[in-house]
Amino acid sequence: MKTLVDAQHTIAPAPAPSEGIRKRKRTELKYGLLFASPVLLGYLAFVLGPLVITFALGFTEYSMVGTPKFVGLDNFTRLFTGKEPLFYDAVVSTFYYVMVSVPLGIVFSFVLALLLNSKIKGRAFFRGLFYLPVIIPLAASSVIWLWMLQPDFGVVNYVLGLFGVPKIPWLSSDSTVIPTLILFSLWMTGNTMVIFLAGLQNIPSHLYEAIEVDGGNTLHKIWYITLPMSSSIIFFNTVIGFVNAFQTFVQPAVMTQGGPNNASYLIVYYLFKEGFQFTKFGTASAAAFLLFLIILLCTAVLFKFSDSLVYYEGQERGK
């Protein structure tokens, strides 16, 4: 009797997969890797490969002539000790630009998405109008704004002069060049606006109706419904915004060339000049790797606080 009971409660082992099933899985894996190979090869050739080479060149002295000479931590030491004076200028200017432009861009694009999500006449036209700058190449936009912001005959100063505003040295003053680049960054918030707009359209309308039944107004809807339900989109745009802002290059390269007095010498422009103008590829590679670590650290900090700030539907906060 005991043997019979034990036999009834014994779980039979799962049958081993047949040879046909194993063969089919191997075939699926082979074809899967075959179809994914262009992406994998592109990642190895254009992302992982250059990253490893840059890290290796950071420990060498190399000017594209001859073979790299191993110098150990000398490049990093020169950067940290100030023997490369423009590096600290570039770091300070970059953090100034990033820490102001990213929050300002998130707020501006979110407010713009709220307005374009409301029922207004010509809504489709305005959506296309605010997205249009993204289609224009950034270098072309930089040249156009460089002409418009010219202090003597630029369109912006001319229009402001009609209202009695004195001429502003937008890009020719140490104190105004970074704020001007920050304002210019708002010109390129079309992608962020579209992502916010897509998130706002996915918020269930019955949540807003419940607020109205309870006597809530527009501010209540935004604070208790829109912001919590959009927190994941805000987090995503913030991470992407920080990553892109740290890599800003075209604006200072086209509009200011790092000036005046190195006030807009952003770090990517710095490593570009070090590598391709002064042929100091070791120093440039070391600076590029430090930039990678800075971006990685900032991203890690954002993800660290995401659990307490981001609401995911169907999941308790902090879990």
The pLDDT score that the predictor gives to residue 287 is 94
Is residue 228 scored above 80 in pLDDT? yes
3-class state of residue 292 by DSSP: helix
Higher-scoring residue by pLDDT: 309, 52: 52
pLDDT of 177 reads 95
Top pLDDT among 119 and 195 is at 195
- Lowest mean pLDDT: which of 82-86, 108-112, 166-170, 252-256? 82-86
Residue 246: name the closest of 107, 145, 97 by CA: 97
pLDDT digits (tens, 9 = 90+) for 280-308: 999 999 999 999 999 999 999 999 988 88
pTM for the structure as a whole: 0.86
Q: pLDDT at position 176, please? A: 94
DSSP assigned state of 274: I
Rounded to an integer, what distance in angstroms lies between the CA atom of residue 137 and that of residue 143? 10
pLDDT (mean) for 53-61: 92
Mean pLDDT taken over the chain: 88
Instruction: Inform me whether the pLDDT recorded for 256 exceeds 80.
Output: yes
Confidence of residue 1 (pLDDT cuts 50, 70, 90): very low
Lowest model confidence (mean pLDDT) among 48-57, 117-126, 192-201: 117-126
Residues 86-138 have pLDDT tens digits of 999 999 999 999 999 999 999 999 999 999 998 888 888 888 888 999 999 99
Helix (H) / strand (E) containing 151: none
Q: What pLDDT does 35 receive?
A: 92
The share of the chain scoring above pLDDT 90, in percent, equals 59
pLDDT at 74 over 90: yes
pLDDT in tens, 172-182: 999 999 999 99
Cα 31 to Cα 18, 35, 43: the distances in Å are: 20, 6, 19
Does the pLDDT value for residue 17 go beyond 80?
no
> Is the model's pLDDT at 153 over the cut of 80?
yes
Helix (H) or strand (E) holding 186: none
Residue 309 has pLDDT above 90, yes or no: no
Q: Which two tokens stand for residue 9?
A: 């409660």
Report the pLDDT value the prediction gives residue 10, as an integer from 0 to 100.
54
State pLDDT tens for residues 257-274.
998 999 999 999 999 999
The phi and psi torsions of 110 (rounded to 5 degrees) equal -70, -45
b/e code 228-246 from CB counts within 10 Å (16+ = b)? ebbbbbbbbbbbebbebbb
